[in-house]
Amino acid sequence: MSKRRVVLVLLIILSLMILSCGVVKKVAEPIDKQGCKADCRKCEFSRYIYETNSCFCICNGVEVQLY
């Protein structure tokens, strides 16, 4: 394989890896958010932060972090 082909293949692989990261987040974030809502069954859902996997609920008027 020539040097140009190796560079081209590596660039394609790198591009696909970068693209797939965004796709994974778009699919995983709504699923994780729904799981957080399910975990807040006794309280009211407040918010979910995907980057830190943090789930917050409002219990008795106070925001509580479940995880």
Average pLDDT over the chain reads: 87
Q: What pLDDT band is residue 55 in, cutting at 50, 70 and 90?
A: very high
Task: Annotate 1-34 with DSSP letters as a single string.
Answer: --HHHHHHHHHHHHHHHHHHHHHHHHHHHHHHHH
Global pTM value: 0.65
Sequence spans of domains, the chain: 3-65
Whether the per-residue pLDDT at 20 is higher than 80: the answer is no
In percent, the amount of the chain with pLDDT more than 70 equals 96
